[in-house]
Homo-oligomer: A and B are copies of this chain.
């Protein structure tokens, strides 16, 4: 964390299709600890949005409570944000999305926020197929309250205070897969090369997209013995496939060469290009993904990458058959049946 951010703008900062530079996607200065994984995550989001040429104000940032949930303040200054209450971000995101389906919902949560207090809301927003990007910054601890163990901490590890994690961890990717999420991935905040394409794909995906991002807490969970420290993650990370994101430049989706077995065509015509590193890898098989995750875990490995993608999934509004005009933009005419109708209704009560 640095306190004085240079106002100097390089005159030739690269601009994207909208003519915007990386700076246009930044947020307030971070007040997280120097080296916190969440800051890397923040910059991956900024990079992904910039490279995709998303209009910043067409994004809504939503979060719960925690260091991770503070992070949305540190990217996309031009987007509205909603830092809500602990563990209840999914319901706020649901309401927001129902009100206006035209925005892109980028949600940020922590493992305390989503695997403990918010586990019920997490499960149900997955079920609801809400069109959103749900990112969990997974550090195995409660950062903001000073390092208590999270439900995602591996059984048997100790936190910095020496408390032992007594019970099985909850793997949010496994849960998302089991509950029917249409996009599930895991990554590492320290690996932007993997993370940025995943964020881009999640944003292009229509439907519920979940990314669990291992994001070390340098202050409370970066010690030897931790399985969420930078060192440990670096040493134990593995992946089943390398995914690259190829954005669509034209509106036509015919360019989508779905004949190529390694290309997945997303809803907006962009492509997720997959290079398998593992024979069993199959992005269309959620059960297989769970088995792979668990097998790797038993072998002491952290499996990352895109686990599952159902490119033609439908979202809440499709299922609900909502009008395509955002509900918050409907005029009084469209909403209010008026007096004539009312008098008919009155008659039904006589």
Contact of A319 among B116, B129, B167, B179 (CB under 8 A): B167
Interface size on A, residues (CB 8 A): 27
A291 CB–B CB distance under 8 Å: yes
Interface residues in A171-203 (C-beta closer than 8 Å to B)? 174-175, 178-180
- A16-24, A93-101, A120-128: which lies at the interface: A120-128
A287 to B288, CA, bound (A): 11
Q: Knowing A119-B119, A120-B119, A178-B174 are in contact, say whether A127-B168 is a contact too (CB < 8 A).
A: yes
In the assembled complex, the CB of A32 is this many whole angstroms from the nearest CB of chain B, namely: 27
Majority-rule SS of A interface residues: helix
Q: How far is the CA of A119 from the CA of B124 in the complex (A)?
A: 9
User: Which of B117, B129, B178, B287 is the one whose CB lies under 8 Å from A120?
Assistant: B117
- Would you call A65 an interface residue if the criterion is a C-beta within 8 Å of the partner chain's C-beta atoms? no
Instruction: Please encode chain A, from 315 to 337, with 1 for each CB lying within 8 Å of some chain B CB and 0 for all others.
Output: 00001100000000000000000
A174 proximity list for chain B (CB < 8 A): 178
CB neighbours (8 Å) of A128 from chain B are 167
Which residues between 263 and 307 of chain A lie within 8 Å of chain B, taking CB atoms? 287, 290-291, 294
**Given known A-B contacts A175-B178, A178-B174, A178-B178, A167 and B120 have beta carbons under 8 A apart:** no
Chain B residues positioned under 8 Å from A119 (CB to CB): 119-120, 123-124
CB distance from A180 to the nearest CB of B (A): 4
Instruction: Determine if A151 and B127 form an interchain contact, defined as CB atoms under 8 angstroms apart.
Output: yes
Q: Hey, which bits of chain A sit against chain B, CB under 8 A?
A: 116-121, 123-124, 127-129, 151, 166-168, 170, 174-175, 178-180, 287, 290-291, 294, 319-320
